Amino acid sequence: AQKITQTQPGMFVQEKEAVTLDCTYDTSDPSYGLFWYKQPSSGEMIFLIYQGSYDQQNATEGRYSLNFQKARKSANLVISASQLGDSAMYFCAMREGGTGRRALTFGSGTRLQVQP
């Protein structure tokens, strides 16, 4: 069963506007971490932001923030003030368990295009 679902294959946003990329997850483990990665057209995977299941506050890293709604099992990425360089694939991922022994499970990704 798919554990990470990204329902938006593609998104468009105007430069300088904010955009929300959706991610829902499924797990019965009370301890888990949620990660977002960016993959530009050059292909490398860039880690953006992390949210732990026990974290009381939503994570923020610069222009990236995570809208974490635990009861709804969603962890949406919000990019504020979009820039042309934000055009890329974005992947949501989850790691279950408190020991970090398990691998990341990825969603299918969302392709974001920022328009001038």
Helix (H), strand (E) counts: the chain: 0, 12
**Position among 19, 66, 105, 114 found at the interface with another protein (CB under 8 A):** 105
Minimum distance of another protein from residue 84's CB (angstroms) = 23
- Picking from 51, 47, 56, the residue whose alpha carbon sits closest to that of residue 90 is 47
Torsion of CA 92, 82, 8, 20, to 10 degrees: 70
By CB under 8 A, tell whether 52 contacts another protein. yes
CB atoms within 10 A of CB 5: 15
By CB under 8 A, tell whether 116 contacts another protein. no
**Three-state DSSP class for 8?**
coil
Site for another protein (CB under 8 A): how many residues? 29
Stretch that binds another protein, among 62-70, 71-79, 80-88, 107-115 (CB under 8 A): 107-115
Stretch that binds another protein, among 20-28, 40-48, 68-76, 77-85 (CB under 8 A): 40-48
